[in-house]
Amino acid sequence: MINKRTTILLIVSIIIAVFVVLLPRIVHVHLHQGEYFYSYPLHTDEWQHYTISMSLDKDFFHPSVFYYQDYQSFYDGSPVFHWLIYLFQKLGLQPKDFFILPVLQAIFFSIVFFFFIATLLNTWTAFIATIFALFVRSSVGILGILFFKPFVLGFAFFILALFIFNKKKHFCFSFVIASLAAIFCYPPLILPLIIYTLVYSLITKGVDKKYLFGVGILTFLILMFGFYVTKGNNPLLMDKIIYKDSIIGYGGINLIKYLGVPLIIFGLLGVVRTLKNKKLWPFHALFGFFILNFMLTMVTKSSLGFHYIRIIYLGSILFSIYAACGVWYVFKWLNKKIKRGAVLIVLLLITATILPTFIFYIHSDSFANPAVHANWLTQDNFDALKYLNGLPDKNKKLLHPPRIGTVITPLTGFKVTALQTALTGGKTNKYYEIEVISDCGELKKIIKKQEYKLLFLENKKFDCLFLKSAFENKSVVIYEYQDF
């Protein structure tokens, strides 16, 4: 039964979730005065997910990448995620509307997270934990709730599955649906699902053993799915199960700076206060998995199922629950001592805990700040891409900077000729070679050999008879090749 207090706390949690997701986009307007509200995908991964979902229009079960030529197969480990984006595309979603998806994701996460914690503990702890979880920092290095990503949405479905599992003693189909959605958004989530359900079943009487059978079937399905998407490439499948060198390229994360001292103190207090609570042992086992996986990464430079960065972020989400327990314990202690001032002090403590993330979003000039990173596509870029989108013939071969390859197809309809290494792999064109050329004769040889019809150049101009300027602004010029 949901009472008035629970309803109010849930509504406030949802409002905070929307605020957190929109904050960097609002700050972007402040940092770049006179520019639009940034409603497009924040990260190149999101652009690629959007483009992959577009390809489902051609073949719903076999997504592809819109390369101009030399098609490369794509191993889609997140079909449910891409089907969901495709559904929204069919409902009219355009790249400029993309911000709607992370907003809906945050709302969904805050609702299921709140009810899951309320089931384990109480509504006030659930409310505090939800706030802390929403303010676990998302950055360009550590993608989180601000970004519409398979592992974030999958984790929300995972929490929903755990909530159903805790509420329903008898096996129910809704648990299977939520679990399928979780693991087919992000397959590694099968590992914590196994751990939680197994430990819960061992310590709790009256749990329907069909749950364990169901999780066993899900494990088998995800393994078969792995063989299917990797086309029997066993080494590739093993690379997905065991991430080798998963810490390389990140230099490690300073957890004290990332989480903040207040959250760490409250979290450790929460761990101490809840360790003997038998009801929470399945959750302790779940958090323990991420701790051990983190330690494994530190020692062996490899991790089980989850990438190093994912371990950090999801582990931090779970740690925020302990921090909420710590704050609730402090409140009860203060309430006995000073009563009237207890609420104010706790509000100040919660504010101090989330403040580092808030300051990072609104003040940091680091490129890791999503508000700053959003400017990787300038207004000049958007204006030039808008021109390309208006051209009728989308079959012309386009030379473009590799850095904007992820946006070419969704914003213009042209196929990409270059893409930086990321979600869908890399591909090169002759952009960087042409960028340093000054001789028209040498330029023409490359253009003819590569069969480019349009050239999208940044901060580079040519005065050649065979190039006709079709579009130009402060930093971008688009040439049309004319073969005389």
Q: Over the stretch 319-354, which tens digit does the pLDDT of each residue have?
A: 999 999 999 999 999 988 887 788 899 999 999 999
- Between CA 86 and CA 59 the distance in angstroms is 12
Q: What is the pLDDT of residue 68?
A: 59
What's the token pair of residue 333? Answer: 């202690």
Among the listed ranges 302-316, 391-405, 425-439, which one has the minimum average pLDDT value?
425-439
Q: What is the pLDDT of residues 183-197, one digit of tens each?
A: 999 999 999 999 999
pLDDT of 365 above 90: no
Examine the domain organization and report whether 273 and 387 are in the same domain.
Answer: no
Identify whether 68 is part of a domain.
no
Identify whether 301 is part of a domain.
yes
Q: Which of 373, 404, 438 is the last residue of a domain?
A: 373
- Between CA 264 and CA 244 the distance in angstroms is 29
Mean pLDDT over 386-394 rounds to: 93
- Between CA 152 and CA 150 the distance in angstroms is 6
- Between CA 244 and CA 297 the distance in angstroms is 9
Q: What is the pLDDT of residue 249?
A: 47
What 8-state DSSP symbol labels residue 427?
Answer: B
Better-scored residue on pLDDT, 155 or 234: 155
8 A C-beta contact, residue 152 and residue 109: yes
Residue 204 CA to its chain's centroid (Å): 34
**CB-based burial, 2-32: b 16+ in 10 Å, e otherwise:** eeeebeebbeebbebbbebbbbbbebbeeeb
Considering 55-69, 355-369, 392-406, 418-432, the range whose residues carry the highest mean pLDDT is 392-406
Examine the domain organization and report whether 423 and 295 are in the same domain.
Answer: no
How far apart, in Å, are the Cα atoms of 195 and each of 172, 180, 272? Answer: 19, 16, 21
DSSP secondary structure letters along 46-82: HHHHHHHHHHTTT-TTS----BSSS------S-HHHH
Q: What is the pLDDT of residue 216?
A: 87
Identify whether 52 is part of a domain.
no
Examine the domain organization and report whether 196 and 301 are in the same domain.
Answer: yes
Identify whether 69 is part of a domain.
no
pLDDT of 149 above 60: yes
Identify whether 57 is part of a domain.
no
What's the token pair of residue 286? Answer: 């779940």
Q: What is the pLDDT of residue 121?
A: 94
Torsion of Cα atoms, 323 then 327 then 328 then 330, to 10°: 140
pLDDT over 90 percentage in the chain: 54
Examine the domain organization and report whether 128 and 26 are in the same domain.
Answer: yes
What average pLDDT does the chain have?
88
Identify whether 85 is part of a domain.
no
Q: What is the pLDDT of residues 440-461, one digit of tens each?
A: 999 999 999 999 999 999 988 9
- Among 196, 203, 209, 125, CA closest to 160: 196
- Give the number of C-alpha atoms closer than 13 A to the C-alpha of residue 367, restricted to the C-beta side: 3
Examine the domain organization and report whether 209 and 312 are in the same domain.
Answer: yes
What's the token pair of residue 471? Answer: 């579009």
For 165-173, which contacts have Cβ atoms below 8 Å and span 24 or more sequence positions?
165/196, 165/197, 165/200, 165/211, 166/116, 166/119, 166/120, 166/200, 167/119, 169/206, 169/207, 169/208, 170/208, 171/208, 171/210, 171/211, 171/214
Examine the domain organization and report whether 458 and 352 are in the same domain.
Answer: no
Q: Which of 315, 343, 373 is the last residue of a domain?
A: 373
- Between CA 262 and CA 416 the distance in angstroms is 47
Task: For residue 302, give the amino acid letter.
Answer: S
8 A C-beta contact, residue 453 and residue 419: no
Examine the domain organization and report whether 393 and 250 are in the same domain.
Answer: no
Pairing of strands 242-244, 398-399: unpaired
- Counted domains in the chain: 2
8 A C-beta contact, residue 35 and residue 140: no
Identify whether 249 is part of a domain.
yes
- Between CA 461 and CA 476 the distance in angstroms is 9
Q: Which of 314, 343, 373 is the last residue of a domain?
A: 373
Better-scored residue on pLDDT, 27 or 109: 109
Q: What is the pLDDT of residue 31?
A: 53
Q: Where are the alpha helices (DSSP H) in 168-307?
A: 173-183, 190-203, 210-229, 234-241, 255-259, 261-274, 281-300
Predicted confidence band at 425 (pLDDT cuts at 50, 70, 90)?
low
- Structural domain boundaries, residue 403: 375-481
Predicted confidence band at 210 (pLDDT cuts at 50, 70, 90)?
confident
The partner residues of 479 in beta bridges, in order of sequence, read 455, 469
Q: What is the pLDDT of residues 250-305, one digit of tens each?
A: 556 889 999 999 999 999 999 999 998 999 999 999 999 999 999 998 888 888 88
Examine the domain organization and report whether 392 and 369 are in the same domain.
Answer: no
How far apart, in Å, are the Cα atoms of 403 and each of 42, 235, 408, 428, 429? Answer: 14, 30, 10, 10, 11
- Between CA 314 and CA 193 the distance in angstroms is 14
Q: What is the pLDDT of residue 266?
A: 97
For residue 357, give the 3-state DSSP assignment.
Answer: helix
Identify whether 81 is part of a domain.
no
Residue with tokens 């069969």: 451
- Between CA 198 and CA 405 the distance in angstroms is 45
Examine the domain organization and report whether 278 and 413 are in the same domain.
Answer: no
For residue 197, give the 3-state DSSP assignment.
Answer: helix
Q: What is the pLDDT of residue 36?
A: 60
Q: What is the pLDDT of residue 443?
A: 92
Q: What is the pLDDT of residue 187?
A: 93
Examine the domain organization and report whether 228 and 369 are in the same domain.
Answer: yes
- Among 227, 247, 251, 246, CA closest to 237: 227
Examine the domain organization and report whether 354 and 450 are in the same domain.
Answer: no
Predicted confidence band at 30 (pLDDT cuts at 50, 70, 90)?
low
Examine the domain organization and report whether 311 and 244 are in the same domain.
Answer: yes
